[in-house]
Amino acid sequence: MDTKELLKKVRKIEIKTRRLSDHVFGGEYHSTFKGRGMTFSEVRQYQFGDDVRNIDWNVTARYNEPFVKVFEEERELTMMLLADISGSEFFGTDTQFKNEIVTEIAATLAFSAMQNNDKIGLILFSDTIELFIPPKKGKSHVLRIIRELLEYKPQSKKTDLAQALKYLTNVMKKKAIVFVLSDFITDDYKDTLKIVAGKHDVTGIRIYDKHEESIPNLGMVNMRDEETGEYLMVNTASKAVRNSYYAFYRDRVAYFEDAFLKSGAGALSCRVDESYVKKLLGYFKRR
């Protein structure tokens, strides 16, 4: 992708996702993810209905009339985006690949965080840590994140989510809002996720294509594994083969749902041909 084409794609995603974050997600994001607590702001005269526990007795004694302390939310938060860029993300049978939806959702979340003056960081992972962008504020930083999501070429096509979660715990010492974007066609991350979710506010967003769920009967088909690069002749006419694949896929979905539920983390699934806007809004409202 040349520079001109890349900038055009970044701008297109910025326009679409920023409109969503401005008009749809901004308030929901703010109300869903609270700051680290309340910090003192000022004192003012007592008004009917004020909590008497907030009376500042020193100021009240000085002026001989009641004054209360006013607190405001200590808002600043850090959002970390963990994006799976392994080979299976470059799959799509309709209008978009899974990695394109990952980019759009990540951009929407990043702009929502930017609206609230929060820091945003990015970890791109396969079976290794491909790229780490430390959390920062500002539009130019968000645009850099979008560029990397669009342009970065992974060194590996395999997946190791557990390693990405371990890396997160090493680089993020304070509590963060964490979104993990992946198809979650992997396992062996349940124990690590439980540790991470105990410290951070974690949400897993599973991006999938409807044609991944089952194999149609197409006879003998030469298939390529996007994560290993290997080709294999598969007899899709065999009901046993189709059932075996379906069982494997459902097992991965069940593992994802069980791992996030038992760790206390949030989870939602978005199909590439469905509106991720409705899914995210519904999730925020449930929170």
Q: Are residues 56 and 144 in the same domain?
A: no
CA 254 vs. chain centroid, Å, equals 19
Predicted confidence (pLDDT) per residue in 44-93, tens digit? 898 888 888 889 999 999 999 999 987 655 557 899 999 999 877 655 55
Instruction: Reply yes or no on whether the pLDDT at 156 is more than 80.
Output: yes
CA 58 to chain centre: 46
Nearest to 114 by CA among 37, 30, 39: 30
Mean pLDDT of the chain: 86
Let me know whether 84 and 100 are in one domain.
yes
What band does 217 get if pLDDT is binned at 50, 70 and 90? confident
Q: Each residue of 251-284: pLDDT tens digit?
A: 999 999 999 999 999 999 999 988 888 888 888 8
Is residue 267 within 8 A of residue 257, CB to CB? The reply is: yes
Residue 67 domain boundaries: 38-73
- Please state, for a pLDDT cut of 70, what percent of the chain lies above it: 86
Q: Which residue has the higher pLDDT, 126 or 222?
A: 126
| Beta-bridge partners for 270 | 207
Domain identity same for 123 and 173: yes
DSSP 245: H
Q: Looking at residue 227, what DSSP letter applies? A: T
* 132 and 21 in a common domain: yes
One domain for residues 166 and 247: yes
Give the pLDDT of residue 40: 61
CATH of the domain at 266: 3.40.50.410
CA separation for the pair 71, 272 (Å, rounded): 43
Where a domain ends, among 48, 73, 98? Answer: 73
Write down the pTM of the prediction: 0.78
* Residues linked to residue 68 through DSSP beta bridges, in sequence order: 44, 55
Structural domains of the chain, count: 2
pLDDT in tens, 9-35: 788 788 877 777 776 666 666 667 765
Backbone angles phi, psi at 128, to 5 degrees: -145, 170
Residue 110 to residue 145: CA distance in whole angstroms: 9
Rounded Cα gap, residues 171 and 168, in angstroms: 5
Task: Please give the C-alpha separations between residue 108 and each of 9, 136, 169, 193, 204, in angstroms, as whole numbers.
Answer: 15, 16, 24, 24, 15
